[in-house]
A and B are shown apart, each in its own frame.
Chain A
């Protein structure tokens, strides 16, 4: 039990102590929300370093290493009064004021939701396909053998062509999926000192809570009142499909969605604060998408491009946009592009197909999957009223706050990611088929939902003051 608690909370403490000392303008909820994901990523990195150093995978030595990482920021200078978030921003109010009651009511609903999900996780074993087919097997083998045994493709496993003693998986494509999720499972199993099909899913509840904390903290930074921010966080954390990925934990999608939205929030914050930590966090979480799930390359890549856009002066942006437009047109006229990038892979884009480094190649062909999209977004019970609200919020924002368009980076990310998801499901037959079968469509939408949510709120609601004074957490 002690090991489980340490495995759950030590990464959280490690990430939060670093952010508390280095992210000096952030409020406590944001520090805690970002801190959990940062801590988990640091933990997985530490396990890999441990393995490369040839050390045996044992929980307590690893935990001691992580505790050292957590303690290091204590050597840094503490926050000064100047950097502390300003005190009461909402004026005096009685505890029974309408605002406080609304705050408490929705906080209770969030606690009830997370509690129900945690309760299910205590009893239910790993349930859904990919969890026990693609991710948990690696973690279980590593846990039982005490080392990060290599994995290879089924073809190479048969030939013995790659590493001696390498394992493979029962899913032909899953052997080279990023290992962050298996490492999260491994870390929890090490803490438990036994393989538990149920408890290793706990981090999926924690990452949901971390998403809520981070979004709440950032919304407060955007100038949104306490009770409204709490209502908004409740709306995000009560989306049924978000809950599904917390209650049936074991997939990478919720981690990717969280990393992406935290990166986007940091980018949006950086556009007003210009603080280096915000920029660093945006970059860190954009890059972390690569390590979480293969499609993270697309979303993380688009976020990186958006950060790049925010960094360069507007005139250069226009020159770059013109350059890309002309190059793309020229390539299209020439029939496409097909080059081998040294150490990266093949890049091919033409009317017949697309090949991207790391993601492989796919033929192109239009399939009309609009009915499935409408069905999934607006009629199914997966998202409550999220997509209706998003459409209305974006229309309202466009008409009432067009000045926001002067900060193009968040818009670039949102527009390109939406275009990318439409392209993938309408233009790549393999994914069109998966959309029609409803196997991957909602999961791909989940990657973007928290980001779209925070983007809409930022556009519609965030105070335009630059830099905004920090409200009370």
Chain B
């Protein structure tokens, strides 16, 4: 069998596999190809529970509630089934830059209020509800929320909940695939994926395509002259589907590398941080290292109102290296501290108080340490441990 013939046979089998898989997915989804009409609420139907509204015949002008800075609109006529509505579309102009919007709902499955951010693009102000893991069951409450400055007013014409068609569902799936996931602190443990499309897992779909393609090729095994080509064809089909999955993954890697370049290019390798909060922690740690703490390794106790793996306390410890740090607990350790040690209360630590007149740090159980405050900010308070007689405090 020539290489061209093999290639064409493999390609045809692959197409047959894709068609068979698509057919099964369509059948399983129970969705129609074309979308049924959406559920519609006109502006006048929406109940304004936060903010002030000026209602016209087809539209309403809503201003933000003073104080909370919110607009809250609720849709009446509940409940409906989640699977009958995959996309929420707010009929309005694109959101102004300083306004953030979202939808919220309560369902029979989830008593807790769930929410999802609205995306505002040229295609409208929408939320892809089908991709939210908690968009399920009977929806008993549904509404829209905006946050923004009191000076803004939003013109809203209505709300559409568009029922999913098979095409729409496919579009939602493709949208999910074409939105590269940024690395998170969980990525090192597993790669996440939008839950609502999880049922249509990409590896499972690819494996199904390979299965059907091989099924189509299986009669070749009965033909003596073609039998020898089957392993190469099977491997080719398998690799083709792998390549398809891997093309997306390659794109995600390149996208994230580009994001990394945009975020950190031009910053020295020793001065990079993981976000604005981490940046503040690092700057504060650098100030302490430069101006307050003696040369390393200085014994330092970090006290923070948390237990276990709290990112703020652990990142702060990392930025303070190479000082010699103990970083556990919500309280002081009077039995184990010694004169000259430093104690840093990171953030608000309710279990510890400082008595300036007595140069004393005290746990809420009464145990205390003689210590002098050496640095204070809204961010953290730094103390130097004094001898038990309290001598050695500097003005």
Interface set of A (CB-CB < 8 Å, partner B): 98, 109, 112-113, 116-117, 119-120, 122-125, 127-133, 136-137, 140-141, 144-145, 149, 154, 157-160, 165, 167-168, 170-172, 192, 194-199, 231, 235, 238, 240-241, 243-245, 247-248, 251, 376, 378-385, 388-389, 438-443
Residues of B within 8 A of A149 (CB): 297
Residues of A within 8 A of B261 (CB): 119, 122-123
Cα–Cα, bound, A46→B242 (Å): 42
Q: Knowing A133-B309, A133-B314, A443-B189, say if A140 contacts B322 (CB, 8 Å).
A: yes
Report yes or no: B203 in contact with A128, Cβ–Cβ below 8 A.
no
Report yes or no: B207 in contact with A144, Cβ–Cβ below 8 A.
no
Report yes or no: B185 in contact with A128, Cβ–Cβ below 8 A.
yes
Cα–Cα, bound, A385→B260 (Å): 28
Residues of A within 8 A of B189 (CB): 438-440, 442-443
Report yes or no: B326 in contact with A168, Cβ–Cβ below 8 A.
yes
Cα–Cα, bound, A124→B297 (Å): 28
Cα–Cα, bound, A247→B191 (Å): 13
B interface size (C-beta, 8 A): 59
Cα–Cα, bound, A158→B193 (Å): 43
Report yes or no: B321 in contact with A380, Cβ–Cβ below 8 A.
no
Chain B residue at minimum C-beta to C-beta distance from A130: B188
Q: Quick one: which of A140, A247, A440 has the most chain B CB within 10 A?
A: A247
Q: How far is the CB of B244 from chain A (nearest CB, A)?
A: 10
Cα–Cα, bound, A128→B242 (Å): 27
Q: Is B245 an interface residue (CB 8 A)?
A: yes
Besides A113-B250, A379-B204, 4 other CB < 8 A contacts?
A: A116-B253, A123-B263, A378-B203, A379-B201
Chain A residue at minimum C-beta to C-beta distance from B181: A381
Which listed residue, A113, A145, A194, A388, touches B297 by the CB 8 Å rule?
A145
Chain A residue at minimum C-beta to C-beta distance from B316: A170
Which 7 A-B pairs have CB atoms at the shortest separation, nearest pair first? A196-B269, A125-B272, A128-B188, A144-B322, A120-B257, A379-B201, A123-B260
Report how many A-B pairs have Cβ atoms within 8 Å.
Answer: 187
Report yes or no: B296 in contact with A145, Cβ–Cβ below 8 A.
yes
Report yes or no: B254 in contact with A116, Cβ–Cβ below 8 A.
yes
Report yes or no: A240 in contact with B249, Cβ–Cβ below 8 A.
yes
Chain A residue at minimum C-beta to C-beta distance from B199: A379
Chain B residue at minimum C-beta to C-beta distance from A383: B203
Q: Is B264 an interface residue (CB 8 A)?
A: yes
Cα–Cα, bound, A380→B318 (Å): 33
Which listed residue, B190, B249, B313, touches A380 by the CB 8 Å rule?
B190
Report yes or no: A381 in contact with B193, Cβ–Cβ below 8 A.
yes
Residues of B within 8 A of A442 (CB): 189-190
Residues of A within 8 A of B333 (CB): 158
Report yes or no: A123 in contact with B257, Cβ–Cβ below 8 A.
yes
Chain B residue at minimum C-beta to C-beta distance from A192: B269
Q: Quick one: which of A109, A167, A199, A251 has the most chain B CB within 10 A?
A: A167
Report yes or no: B190 in contact with A382, Cβ–Cβ below 8 A.
yes
Report yes or no: B188 in contact with A159, Cβ–Cβ below 8 A.
no
Which listed residue, B241, B246, B256, B270, touches A194 by the CB 8 Å rule?
B270
Report yes or no: B272 in contact with A198, Cβ–Cβ below 8 A.
yes
Report yes or no: B328 in contact with A127, Cβ–Cβ below 8 A.
no
Chain B residue at minimum C-beta to C-beta distance from A195: B270
Which listed residue, A128, A154, A170, A382, touches B191 by the CB 8 Å rule?
A382
B43-67 Cβ-contact flags toward A at 8 Å (1 or 0): 0000000000000000000000000
Cα–Cα, bound, A380→B256 (Å): 20
Chain A residue at minimum C-beta to C-beta distance from B336: A158
Q: Is B24 an interface residue (CB 8 A)?
A: no
Report yes or no: B264 in contact with A198, Cβ–Cβ below 8 A.
yes
Chain A residue at minimum C-beta to C-beta distance from B234: A392
Residues of A within 8 A of B315 (CB): 132
Which listed residue, B246, B263, B269, B336, touches A159 by the CB 8 Å rule?
B336
Q: How far is the CB of B79 from chain A (nearest CB, A)?
A: 29
Report yes or no: B264 in contact with A125, Cβ–Cβ below 8 A.
yes
Cα–Cα, bound, A165→B324 (Å): 8
Residues of A within 8 A of B254 (CB): 116
Interface set of B (CB-CB < 8 Å, partner A): 3, 183, 185-191, 193, 198, 201-204, 206-207, 210, 235, 238-239, 241-242, 245-246, 249-250, 253-254, 256-257, 260-261, 263-265, 268-270, 272-274, 296-297, 309, 313-315, 317-318, 321-322, 324-328, 333, 336
Which listed residue, B204, B268, B321, B327, touches A140 by the CB 8 Å rule?
B321
Residues of B within 8 A of A160 (CB): 336
Cα–Cα, bound, A442→B238 (Å): 23
Report yes or no: B264 in contact with A243, Cβ–Cβ below 8 A.
no
Report yes or no: B253 in contact with A125, Cβ–Cβ below 8 A.
no
Q: How far is the CB of B124 from chain A (nearest CB, A)?
A: 29
Residues of A within 8 A of B318 (CB): 132-133, 136-137, 140
Residues of B within 8 A of A167 (CB): 297, 324-325
Residues of B within 8 A of A194 (CB): 269-270
Which listed residue, B241, B242, B264, touches A238 by the CB 8 Å rule?
B242
Q: Knowing A125-B269, A197-B272, say if A388 contacts B309 (CB, 8 Å).
A: no
Which listed residue, B203, B274, B297, touches A125 by the CB 8 Å rule?
B274
Which listed residue, B249, B297, B327, touches A381 by the CB 8 Å rule?
B249
Q: Knowing A119-B257, A144-B296, say if A384 contacts B188 (CB, 8 Å).
A: no
Which listed residue, A116, A141, A165, A244, touches B250 by the CB 8 Å rule?
A116
Chain B residue at minimum C-beta to C-beta distance from A438: B190
Residues of B within 8 A of A247 (CB): 183, 253, 256
Q: Knowing A238-B249, A379-B204, A380-B193, say if A171 contacts B242 (CB, 8 Å).
A: no
Report yes or no: B185 in contact with A385, Cβ–Cβ below 8 A.
no
Q: Knowing A123-B260, A123-B265, say if A240 contacts B239 (CB, 8 Å).
A: no
Residues of A within 8 A of B186 (CB): 438
Residues of A within 8 A of B201 (CB): 378-381
Report yes or no: A141 in contact with B322, Cβ–Cβ below 8 A.
yes
25 contacts between A and B (CB under 8 A): A113-B253, A120-B256, A123-B260, A125-B264, A127-B274, A128-B188, A133-B309, A133-B318, A158-B336, A159-B336, A165-B324, A167-B297, A170-B314, A170-B327, A192-B269, A195-B269, A197-B270, A197-B272, A241-B190, A248-B188, A379-B204, A380-B193, A381-B202, A383-B203, A438-B189
Q: Knowing A172-B328, A199-B269, say if A384 contacts B191 (CB, 8 Å).
A: no
Chain A residue at minimum C-beta to C-beta distance from B206: A385
Cα–Cα, bound, A62→B12 (Å): 60
Cα–Cα, bound, A248→B183 (Å): 9
Report yes or no: B270 in contact with A384, Cβ–Cβ below 8 A.
no
Cα–Cα, bound, A240→B248 (Å): 11
Q: How far is the CB of B347 from chain A (nearest CB, A)?
A: 16
Residues of B within 8 A of A128 (CB): 185, 187-188
Report yes or no: A117 in contact with B324, Cβ–Cβ below 8 A.
no
Q: Quick one: which of A119, A131, A159 has the most chain B CB within 10 A?
A: A119
Report yes or no: B269 in contact with A129, Cβ–Cβ below 8 A.
no
Chain B residue at minimum C-beta to C-beta distance from A253: B188
